[in-house]
Amino acid sequence: MKKKQSLLCCAVIAAAVLAAAPVRAQFAKAEDAVKYRQAVYTVMANHMGRLAAMAKGERPFDAAAAQASARVIETMSHLPWEAFPAGSTSKGLKAEPWADAADYKARADRLQGETAKLPAAAASLETLRPQLGATGAACKNCHDKYRNI
């Protein structure tokens, strides 16, 4: 029994170390992770705003600019997920992404699935509009649970 407990304890520690390793490797402190993920979202939101302005007709449609923004959004959509180490709370978080890794990953995967289609869709206004909507819905799907805006 003692041995079993000891093994279990080792497994728990090993799992915790493995889970923490990628975060520790990229970010020296939790504040660094917060700063990085907020920067990623700032860039992503700016380019979502550019596409939205074209989709709504507030700005003339420009396929090259739209596709460039779409590629930035796709790139950004892969970055923030490693930047939520346990305990890295920040203003606006209403749930802890690190508390349910499977749920959190499912929401990240959905976003990445939609952003992957965005550069091709951004070639015309007719295809941009629905794909921007689907991407925005994937953003919202995560914000609904994790973010106070």
- Return the residue of 72, 111, 118, 121 that touches a second copy, per CB under 8 A: 72
Stated as kind and residue range, the H or E segment containing 51 is helix 30-55
52, 34 contact by CB (below 8 A): no
Rounded to whole angstroms, what are the CA distances from 121 to 39, 108, 137, 146?
25, 20, 16, 28
The piece of 28-36, 96-104, 120-128, 136-144 that touches a second copy (CB under 8 A) is 28-36
Is position 77 an interface residue for a second copy (rule: CB under 8 A)? Answer: no
Polymer length in residues for the chain: 149
For residue 93, list its beta bridge partners. 147
Residues 90-149 binding a second copy (CB under 8 A) are none
- Return the residue of 52, 79, 93, 95 that touches a second copy, per CB under 8 A: 79
**Residues near a second copy (CB under 8 A):** 25-26, 32, 35-36, 38-40, 42-43, 46, 50, 59, 68, 71-72, 75, 78-79
